[in-house]
Chains A and B, each alone.
Chain A
Amino acid sequence: MRPFDYQRARTLSDVASAAQQGAAIIAGGTNLLDLMKLEVMTPERLVDITRLDLKAIEETDDGGLRVGALVTNSDLAADMRVRTRWPVLAKALLSGASGQLRNKATTGGNLLQRTRCYYFYDTAMPCNKREPGSGCAAIGGFNRIHAILGASEKCIATHPSDMAVAMLALGAKVEITDRAGNDRTVSLDKFHLLPGDTPEKETVLEPGDLITGVVLPAPVQGRQIYRKVRDRASYAFALVSIAAVVDVKDEKIARADLAFGGLAHKPWRDAALETALVGKPVSEAAFDAAADILLKDAKPQGSNDFKIPLARRVLISVLKEATR
């Protein structure tokens, strides 16, 4: 690990002044320290935000929930309000990482975790995300875990989060404070970026921005499901995952809020697919048509070709379960 200066923030303005000097923010550290050990990330300064007062889970006036950025994945998954009203989120959190990691990993950090692309992690290989302009070794390389949707010529990495997939299906918003102390809110579907020509830019955050929390709107009517398919039964990243909030009225689909993990550079949501489902009678034909829409522009990369039929099957299976 390269040497760095360490500073513990007591206030938001401590974070702002450290950010002015180019400090990287550390909270749980489960991803950042891993990357620093491999010298994939080499910050010269770290500002530790773990002592900031961002650990509350509070109900909002309109029946939603505000989750502080430093709430651990464990605490969020164990919260009885989450377990009873947003179970898709509890399930997604518990499908990620291990008990030890969830005790450290935070809500804000989970959103900001980096891809697990093997070539991003290997500093001997080219990677446009790690070193812009160096090329992409995943294209034409081993790309079993890589994207089939929304990728670019520059990057085919996937976002590894489960939590963010559930939050996306739930319509969450991210609360951000900038280094001047101004607050703003960004809808989670606008928070992560597709790789395009700048895969090193993964979110709308600017230097000095701090995530202070995530707000879930009040739960809507419907069955909540999180389905994750991976190479082993536990403690592995998703090949395909789906968070679903689906409601049926009079044998017809009244709501289909669906988000996908493992398929793209960001948690994926497709409005056309949801529009196509809503109002349709519950039927295999409707589910098939939805899968066609999801995968219409899918581009496999060789080792991940299997993700196209897998995503189709998982989607149909989840819709069947949700409408049963």
Chain B
Amino acid sequence: MQTELKINGDKHVLDLDSRTTLLDVLRHHIGLTGTKKGCDHGQCGACTVIVNGRRINSCLTLACMHDGDEITTIEGLGTPDDLNPLQAAFVAHDGFQCGYCTPGQICSATAMLKEAKAGWPSHVTEDMASTPDLTDAEISERMSGNLCRCSAYPNIVDAIREVARGGKE
């Protein structure tokens, strides 16, 4: 199955078994191992990447279904020498312990902040028609698809809140 993917701005043409998930393409075919395989069933969020601007679980989608799509992984957001604001905030606030869930957390948070900016409500939003402020309860609810088994949640919320408010607190 020939599939063309644009990953972090680079075009890749791949010949794949139809069963190959987007996650396995990123890790095994392209060598971008920042994206992690946790549960491989869409329950933990470690594999979160951004496809055409939306966050998804890369483990629960077939690469061949993404022919022509634009994919951003953690490697596309920043580099060790040039961290993007969320990456820097996770470091500054110690938003991890083992770090395994962190790439997924950061990709998820990147897209989540865009969703919030677009005015999307969440389950904890009182009035569905309102555009809610990104309170800690809103951040937690919107990030509930990313599990952290070290339970660094308070620091993850601190990091995301800082970036949502446009800088250091």
Residue in contact with A33 in the complex, picked from B17, B60, B145, CB distance below 8 Å: B60
Contacts of B129 in A (CB 8 A): 80, 83-84, 87
Closest to B18 in A: A6
**Shortest Cβ distance from residue A231 to the other chain B in the assembled complex, whole angstroms:** 13
Q: Is the CB of B123 within 8 A of A29?
A: no
Residues in B neighbouring A1, C-beta threshold 8 A: 19
What mask results when residues 44 to 70 of chain A are scored 1 for a CB within 8 Å of chain B, else 0? 001010100000000000000000000
Give the nearest-CB partner of B17 in chain A: A3
Residue in chain B with minimal CB distance to A90:
B128
Contact of A30 with B by CB under 8 A:
yes
Which residue of chain A has the shortest Cβ distance to B142 in the bound complex? A99
Bitwise, A228-270 to B at CB < 8 A (1) or not (0) is 0000011100000000000000000000000000000000000
Verify if B13 is at the interface (C-beta below 8 Å from A): no
CB closest residue in chain A, given B111: A99
Tell yes or no: A187 within 8 A of B by CB. Answer: no
Instruction: Count A-B pairs with CB separation below 8 Å.
Output: 104
Interface stretch among A100-108, A129-137, A140-148, A208-216?
A100-108
Q: Using known A-B contacts A6-B18, A91-B123, A94-B123, determine if residue A235 contacts B60 with beta carbons closer than 8 Å.
A: no
Query: CB-CB < 8 A to A91: which residues of B?
Result: 123, 128
| Cross-chain contact B145 with A100 (CB below 8 angstroms) | yes
Q: Are the CB atoms of A4 and B120 closer together than 8 Å?
A: no
- Return B45 CB to nearest CB of chain A, in Å: 6
- Minimal beta-carbon separation of A262 from chain B (angstroms): 16
Q: Which residues of A contact B21 (CB under 8 A)?
A: 33
- Whether B145 pairs with A83 at a CB distance below 8 angstroms is no
Q: Which residue of B lies closest to A6 (CB)?
A: B18
Complex partner residue of B64 from A6, A80, A103, CB under 8 angstroms: A6
Any chain A CB within 8 A of the CB of B33? no
A74 touches B120 (CB 8 A): yes
Report the minimum CB–CB distance from B15 to chain A (whole Å): 13
Contacts of B143 in A (CB 8 A): 99
Is A276 an interface position by the 8 A CB rule?
no
A21 proximal to B (CB < 8 A): no
CA distance A231 to B142 in the complex (A): 18
> By the criterion CB–CB under 8 Å, are A34 and B128 in contact?
no
CB of B158 to closest CB in A, whole Å: 19
Which residues of the other chain, B, contact A33 by a CB distance below 8 angstroms?
A: 21, 60-62
Closest residue on chain B to residue A80 by CB atoms: B129
Of the listed stretches B48-56, B72-80, B83-91, B160-168, name the one at the interface; the rest are far from the partner chain: B48-56
In the complex the two chains form, what is the Cα distance from A74 to B51 in whole Å? 14
Q: Which residues of chain A are within 8 angstroms of B142 by Cβ–Cβ distance? A: 99
| Contact partner, B57, options A84, A100, A234, Cβ 8 Å | A100
Q: Is A315 an interface residue (CB 8 A)?
A: no
A95 at interface (Cβ–Cβ under 8 A)?
yes
Verify if B4 is at the interface (C-beta below 8 Å from A). no
Q: Is B42 an interface residue (CB 8 A)?
A: yes
A78 within 8 A of B: yes
- Taking CB atoms, residues of chain B closer than 8 Å to A74 are 54, 115, 120
Contact A234 B45 (CB under 8 A): no
Q: Does A98 reach chain B (CB closer than 8 Å)?
A: yes
A104 near B40: Cβ-Cβ < 8 Å: no
B92 within 8 A of A: no
Residues of B near A90 (CB, < 8 A) are: 121, 128
Complex CA gap A5/B112 in Å reads: 35
Contact code string A77-92 (vs B, CB < 8 Å = 1, else 0)? 1101001100100110
Are the C-beta atoms of B65 and A50 separated by less than 8 Å?
Answer: yes
Contact B60 A97 (CB under 8 A): no
Q: Confirm or deny: B35 has a beta carbon within 8 angstroms of a beta carbon on chain A.
A: no
A-B contact sample (15 more), CB < 8 A, given A77-B121, A234-B141: A1-B19, A8-B67, A33-B21, A33-B60, A48-B62, A48-B64, A83-B128, A84-B129, A87-B129, A94-B121, A98-B146, A100-B48, A100-B55, A104-B61, A235-B145
Q: Contact residues of B with A, CB < 8 Å?
A: 1, 17-19, 21, 40-42, 45, 48, 54-57, 60-62, 64-65, 67, 108, 111-112, 115, 118-123, 125, 128-129, 140-146
Can you identify 20 A-B contacts, CB atoms within 8 angstroms? A3-B17, A3-B18, A6-B64, A8-B67, A26-B65, A29-B65, A33-B21, A37-B40, A50-B65, A84-B128, A84-B129, A87-B129, A91-B123, A94-B121, A100-B48, A100-B55, A100-B145, A104-B61, A233-B141, A235-B145
* Pairs of residues from A and B, 9 with the lowest C-beta to C-beta distance, nearest first: A98-B145, A234-B144, A6-B18, A87-B128, A235-B144, A94-B123, A83-B128, A103-B54, A90-B128
